[in-house]
């Protein structure tokens, strides 16, 4: 085989391997949350919840999370953040992302201890920037559990208005791979009232100082 041809084939093979490795890596991007209690590294799952992961990464790139706080912390449940600054003023967001709870659950992502999911209102498709990290397994937040709680009136062929909120669950899109001890520290911070919230606000602010994409 001629040297030039061999070199070309070797280069093509190398590029192919690198492309495959890049594709595999980009399916599980990682984000570091640098908080006032320490760092938490998240591994996201783009294959399980592609729109949700891309939405989250766009907020990270825009610096949206920098300087925000975990404004709702409930021991033995979860820590929620990503939406309010240190003055407890809500930040502007982009349009909401579609709920991918069922898809993510089928891919194996459930609201288990150490997972990250999107916070939302009663509207299943209302998630924007806010997220929460589960302190423990919270099966009742999963799509399957939510389906089991759908009222009979919402199961008729033409469901009544107001039924849209049932059955969707909360979209899980990744998990903590480093820093779960930091997450557990959040659960121990005393809480009370603050800003527009009557309860569950950490008395000592838990600040998300910066969110950084480690790998994408």
Q: Tens-of-pLDDT digits for all 216 residues of the chain?
A: 555 554 455 455 554 545 444 444 468 999 999 999 999 999 999 999 999 999 999 999 999 999 999 999 999 999 999 999 999 999 999 999 999 999 999 999 999 999 999 999 988 999 999 999 999 999 999 999 999 889 888 888 776 777 877 889 999 999 999 999 999 999 999 999 999 999 999 999 999 999 999 998
pTM for the whole structure: 0.85
pLDDT of residue 84: 98
90 DSSP assignment:
B
pLDDT of residue 216: 85
Q: Taking CA 42 as the corner, what is the angle to CA 96 and CA 122, rounded to the nearest 5 degrees?
A: 30
Q: CA distances (Å), 46 to each of 27, 36, 64, 144, in order?
A: 5, 28, 20, 21
In the chain, what are the domains?
A: 28-215 (2.40.100.10)
pLDDT of residue 168: 92
- Burial class of residue 187 (count of CB atoms within 10 Å of its CB; 0-12, 13-18, 19+): middle
215 DSSP assignment:
E
Rounded distance between C-alpha atoms, residue 175 and residue 117, angstroms: 9
pLDDT of residue 24: 44
Please answer whether residues 80 and 73 qualify as being in contact, where contact means their C-beta atoms are separated by less than 8 angstroms.
yes
β partners of residue 90: 84
Strand, helix or coil at 116? strand
Residue 108 phi, psi (nearest 5): 100, 5
pLDDT of residue 12: 52
């Amino acid at each position: 085989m001629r040297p030039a041809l061999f070199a070309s084939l070797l280069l093509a093979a190398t590029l192919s391997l690198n492309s495959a490795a890049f594709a595999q890596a980009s399916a599980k991007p990682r984000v570091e949350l640098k908080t006032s209690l320490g760092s938490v590294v998240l591994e996201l799952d783009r294959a399980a919840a592609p729109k949700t992961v891309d939405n989250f990464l766009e907020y990270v790139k825009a610096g949206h999370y920098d300087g925000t706080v975990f404004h709702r912390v409930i021991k033995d449940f979860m820590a929620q953040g990503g939406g309010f600054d240190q003055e407890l003023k809500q930040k502007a967001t982009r349009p909401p992302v579609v709920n991918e709870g069922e898809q993510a659950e089928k891919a194996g992502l459930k609201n288990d201890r150490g997972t990250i999911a999107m916070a939302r209102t009663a509207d299943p498709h209302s998630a924007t920037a806010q997220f929460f990290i589960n302190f423990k397994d919270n099966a009742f937040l999963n799509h399957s559990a939510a389906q089991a709680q759908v009222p009979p009136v919402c199961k008729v062929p033409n469901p009544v208005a107001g039924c849209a909120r049932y059955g969707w669950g909360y979209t899980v899109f990744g998990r903590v791979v480093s820093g779960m001890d930091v997450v557990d520290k959040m659960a121990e911070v005393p809480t009370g009232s603050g800003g527009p919230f009557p309860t569950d606000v950490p008395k000592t602010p838990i600040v998300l100082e910066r969110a950084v994409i480690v790998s994408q």
